Amino acid sequence: MSTRLSQGGRLIDRSAQQGFSFNGKRLKGYAGDTLASALLANDQMLMGRSFKYHRPRGVIASGAEEPNALMNLGAEGKFEPNARATTTPLFDGLEAASQNHFPSLEFDVGALNTHLSRFLPAGFYYKMFIHPRPFWKHIYEPFIRQSAGLGKAPKARDVDTYEHFYAFCDVLIIGGGIAGLQAAKVAADAGLEVMLVEQDPHWGGRAPVDGTGIDGKPAQDWIDTTVAALGDMPNVTLRARCMGAGVYDHGYVLCYERLTDHAPKAAGPRHRLWRVRAKQVVTATGAIERPLSFAGNDIPGVMLAGAVRDYVVNYGVSIGDRTVVVTNNDDAYRTAIALKEAGLEVPAIIDARTGGAGALGDQAKALGIRVETGKAIAKVKGGKRVTGVGICAQAGEGSILEEIACDCVTMSGGWSPVVHLWSHCGGKLIWDDALAMFRPDGDRAPTSHDGNPFVITAGAANGALSDVLADATAQAAEVVSRCGGKTDAAAPTEANTAENAIEPIWLMPQGAAHKLRSKSWLDFQNDVKVSDVQLAAQEGFESVEHAKRYTTLGMATDQGKTSNINGLAILSKELGVDIPQVGTTTFRPPYTPISMGAIAGEARHEIFQPLRKTPMHDWHDANGAHWEPVGHWRRPYCFLRGDETPEKAVHREVLNTREKLGLLDASTLGKIIVKGPDAGKFLDMMYTNMMSNLKPGRCRYGLMCSENGFLSDDGVVARISDDTWLCHTTSGGADRIHAHMEEWLQTEWWDWKVYTANVTEQYAQVAVVGPNARKVLEKLGGMDVSADALSFMGWADGTIGGFDVRVYRISFSGELSYEIAVPANQGRAFWDALLEAGEEFGVMPYGTEALHIMRAEKGFIMIGDETDGTVIPQDLNLHWAISKKKDDFLGKRAQMRSHMADPNRWKLVGLETTDGSVLPDGAYAVGEGTNANGQRNMIGRVTSTYHSPTLGKGIAMGLVHHGPDRMGEVLDFPRVDGTVVKAKIVDPVFYDKEGAKQNV
């Protein structure tokens, strides 16, 4: 059984006991434990079930590479799935639950799959669920979806907060092991600004566990000294619990700082996402140990050699009294020695190499450990935990020579440098035959904007499994020189034991029969075995990327950190090619999953998105506004009174405006000033109609098209002075049209003397609309707003009620209407003044829906309703607004293309239902016959549809094939429920066609 030893554990504080629960069971650990070490200390070897076969699984690693020990953490707003127990810091009150089992972790029905594994080979889902076709949608997919996924999706809203931070430095060093520390010291001593991040809470990495000596002392002494020295330097930033997550173009790096995961009751953000720009990036990310592939290597109690050493040395945790070590390299001997020194038994070291180990082998033998060379594990015995191993010759096929009883099997297939961050932005790898590893190719580094390398890698991550400090010093010196500095730093003396060479062992024993291969796991989380990769190769999946997707190797939440190299080695052997020819799959950020909260940062709740508010926003909010989003603005759709429905409110607002007086907050309308000697020429290019001949004091409605001819925006243009125009845009279009203007001015007509300014927010604008509009303005007084002084489509500056105003006599409703702009800071006061003065004239504010209905009654188009990016002005019968006199304007040439000039384009008409009902929005009119897909032919569609309170019936606009030529014809519009609405083609102007009401 796994247990806590009475002594040892350099990272735990035995005086600080922490209570936690696992699947509801109350357990105890110590401060400094990870969830994994604390579970092991409580003999909880079984930590989860695998994804496909639901096999019982224990922890195999001690860090970020862990594939098995995934937990649901916390509850409610603190719930998080798929947390790795090995990187989850223990805290008092932690609640963890295992995943992917039913009904319980100990007894799981899904484990039946393991007995069916013969029938669930690689590509099973692809092969099984493809026929019959209809079964996919109705039977297979729902079934697979139900059984898919390890953790549960959180249901409650996350109660934690998150934030971002933008940092800049000369050198960002990722990884705070001895390589990272040394690199930081060298770079900082050379005067560079250095940021050093480490994913773990402590510095120094594996060196203290591995017993490395530095400058004649234990590694920990050097680590403490170096961290203290770096901490004192003003040009150094140290961040522990901060993982380098991704390296991107031009020295951009994301780092993921876990601020309160170890103390969830602490105030403040849980995670902080660092968005770093560094001139140079050093990845000192260490290495990850590889499992060995032998039968039963997934049984709880089979673990990586380095991890077993970590648990003993760091946490004082023993996996079992008797540990068998199996290896192809010398490093695993360190585990045997550490266990022996902790008073535990090591019945045997099974070394697949015939030559065995060097000095470490002698040391092990001196401690009385039996060493078997040229041997392998034929199979592991046990179910939910290891009970023993069968030993065989590595060169053979797996005949068991001897069985050894044990509680733990610790394996080492060698170490793979963590090349992920090196590779994210294009760093290439080379296969090192001697070390049996892919390591970064320093000659093919990720390059920055200037073509020079911006990433370098140091220490074990660079393949330097020994002489780490010498490598780190050399790499740091290169970085210093790339940053234009100088260093003559020397590496501290590192005591290294000479080791015998690793021997690549990809399958154990080398001639293992299918029965053994089909129990030799490569990917523990996704249940991919040696036999699955071999089958994929036999079926023709030769590319590593294809084999990966076919078998799901490396596609789990651990992204194959322990499995990819082993898998592609098996693939290369099966294909009869060398490992480098197979290559690796692509390394993509993030290195390990980061929280969605960290990505969102502060953007949540009220500040999830910017909300644009007009100067009258608060009045609307306090007076029943039923809000609707328009771009980032919120505009009142209508103003609810009492228990009115929105429909009723809209009805009331339309009738009141038509009969008395309505006020519309039109502040969101875009306002762009265009000024300069060439402003007229410029506007003639931007608009389809002529703007240069507009007289100062007058307004003109204009259309803007893209260079492809499609209608893009519309609005009223006012000529302010000889060289100045003011262009109104749609509410959503202000920024876009301003950018559109600037783009043409800056890229195409850079020599035209034109300046633009977006002054949308400088003004509050109020539309005063209705038969009483003039009366209320005259009551407030200050300027002549009579028809003679200010005629339709004119504008004038003046004062009204003491406010500085600019009044435009324009109408989007068909009523007598003044749109009045005041400086934004006076907007609310002006609004209040209009409401007060308008009281006697029956004033009511109205919202966007009343605005829409009134414009539709008048047959005015709306950008976004009548247009959708495929509509040209000619489709909307707006020929009158397209100048024939101008040589050119944006869209002119495009509109002459054959398809644009095609008389068969659908054109705008009015539509009136024969029964007075409202046509469904977006409904299609159907014609005779069917198209090539067997669907009814379409001959038109509805673009706007409303109930008109003014006319007491449904009105609509739509685009119809040969529409204007078919006045009076009745079309069929099928509804979703299968019934049909009939509507007659009519003139789109339903109300006051001659414009008498607006021109008074």
Partner 1 sequence: MSERDFDGLARIEQVTGLGMISVRGTLTDAGFQAAVVAATGVSVPDRGTVSTGAGRTVAWMSSDEILVVCAEADAKGIVDALNAGLAGTHHMVTDVSDARAVFRISGGAARDVLAKVCPVDLRPNMFKAGQFRRTRMAQVACAFWAEDETAFSLIGFRSVQDYIWDVLTTVASRDAPVDHFAS
> Which residues lie near partner 1 (CB under 8 A)?
161, 163-168, 193, 234, 237, 267-269, 272, 275, 277, 601-603, 606-607, 609-615, 632-633, 673, 675-677, 753, 755, 757, 759-763, 823-826
Least Cβ distance, residue 258 to partner 1 (angstroms): 14
* DSSP output for 465-530: SSSHHHHHHHHHHHHHHHTT------PPPEE----PPP---SSSSTT--HHHHTTBEEETTTTEEH
Measure the CA angle with vertex 490, ends 488 and 492; round to 5°: 160
With H, G, I as helix, E, B as strand and everything else as coil, classify residue 294: coil
Specify the DSSP class assigned to residue 106: S
Cis ω before 103 (30° cut-off from 0): yes
Cα atoms in the 13 Å half-sphere on the side-chain side of 178: 30
Structure tokens at 636: 């009142």
The answer for residues whose C-beta is within 8 angstroms of residue 887's C-beta and 6 or more apart is none
Rank residues 747 and 898 by Cβ distance to partner 1 and give the closer one: 747
Least Cβ distance, residue 165 to partner 1 (angstroms): 5
- Contacts of residues 868-874 at CB distance under 8 Å and 24 or more positions apart, as own/partner, are 869/710, 870/710, 871/710, 871/711, 871/959, 872/705, 872/709, 872/710, 872/711, 872/900, 872/905, 873/688, 873/703, 873/705, 873/711, 874/900, 874/901, 874/905, 874/907
Least Cβ distance, residue 88 to partner 1 (angstroms): 23
Q: What is the rounded (10 degree) CA torsion for 818, 819, 822, 825?
A: 120
Least Cβ distance, residue 900 to partner 1 (angstroms): 36
Rank residues 111 and 759 by Cβ distance to partner 1 and give the closer one: 759
Rank residues 410 and 760 by Cβ distance to partner 1 and give the closer one: 760
The answer for residues whose C-beta is within 8 angstroms of residue 654's C-beta and 6 or more apart is 846, 850, 853, 854, 948, 949, 950
* Total number of residues shown for the chain: 1000
Rank residues 488 and 606 by Cβ distance to partner 1 and give the closer one: 606
Rank residues 38 and 253 by Cβ distance to partner 1 and give the closer one: 253
Structure tokens at 106: 């100990």
Rank residues 120 and 233 by Cβ distance to partner 1 and give the closer one: 233
Rank residues 19 and 677 by Cβ distance to partner 1 and give the closer one: 677
Structure tokens at 336: 């045997």
Rank residues 272 and 529 by Cβ distance to partner 1 and give the closer one: 272
For β-strands 194-197 and 236-239, DSSP reports them as parallel
Rank residues 615 and 859 by Cβ distance to partner 1 and give the closer one: 615
Structure tokens at 875: 């489709």
To which H or E segment does residue 213 belong? Answer: strand 213-214
With H, G, I as helix, E, B as strand and everything else as coil, classify residue 972: strand
Residue closest to 4 by CA, chosen among 319, 344, 310, 301: 319
What type of residue sits at position 377? I
Is 714 within 8 Å of 706 (Cβ atoms)? no
Residue that has been written with the tokens 């719930």 in this structure: 79
Rank residues 162 and 438 by Cβ distance to partner 1 and give the closer one: 162
Least Cβ distance, residue 826 to partner 1 (angstroms): 8
Rank residues 163 and 815 by Cβ distance to partner 1 and give the closer one: 163
Least Cβ distance, residue 272 to partner 1 (angstroms): 8
Least Cβ distance, residue 615 to partner 1 (angstroms): 8
Least Cβ distance, residue 321 to partner 1 (angstroms): 47
Measure the CA angle with vertex 800, ends 795 and 806; round to 5°: 30
Rank residues 763 and 990 by Cβ distance to partner 1 and give the closer one: 763
Least Cβ distance, residue 763 to partner 1 (angstroms): 7
Least Cβ distance, residue 761 to partner 1 (angstroms): 4
Distances in Å between the Cα of 703 and the Cα atoms of 501, 626, 817 are 77, 31, 21
Rank residues 610 and 952 by Cβ distance to partner 1 and give the closer one: 610
Structure tokens at 686: 């931007």
Q: d(Cα 148, Cα 626) in Å, to the nearest integer?
A: 42
The CB density around residue 996, as the number of other CB atoms within 10 Å, is 9
Least Cβ distance, residue 158 to partner 1 (angstroms): 15
Least Cβ distance, residue 176 to partner 1 (angstroms): 17
Is 97 within 8 Å of 23 (Cβ atoms)? yes
Least Cβ distance, residue 51 to partner 1 (angstroms): 37
Least Cβ distance, residue 202 to partner 1 (angstroms): 20
Residue closest to 295 by CA, chosen among 378, 411, 399: 378
Annotate 396-446 with three-state secondary structure: CCCCCCEEEECCEEEEECCEEECCHHHHHCCCCEEEECCCCEEEECCCCCC
Rank residues 522 and 672 by Cβ distance to partner 1 and give the closer one: 672
Rank residues 7 and 721 by Cβ distance to partner 1 and give the closer one: 721
Is 435 within 8 Å of 465 (Cβ atoms)? yes
Residue closest to 291 by CA, chosen among 173, 186, 415: 415
Least Cβ distance, residue 678 to partner 1 (angstroms): 9
Least Cβ distance, residue 740 to partner 1 (angstroms): 17
With H, G, I as helix, E, B as strand and everything else as coil, classify residue 667: coil
Residue closest to 88 by CA, chosen among 70, 67, 109: 70
Rank residues 549 and 806 by Cβ distance to partner 1 and give the closer one: 806
Least Cβ distance, residue 518 to partner 1 (angstroms): 52
Residue that has been written with the tokens 């070490």 in this structure: 37
Strands (E) in 631-740, as ranges, are 633-639, 661-665, 670-675, 699-705, 711-721, 724-729
Rank residues 560 and 601 by Cβ distance to partner 1 and give the closer one: 601
Least Cβ distance, residue 745 to partner 1 (angstroms): 11
Rank residues 753 and 984 by Cβ distance to partner 1 and give the closer one: 753
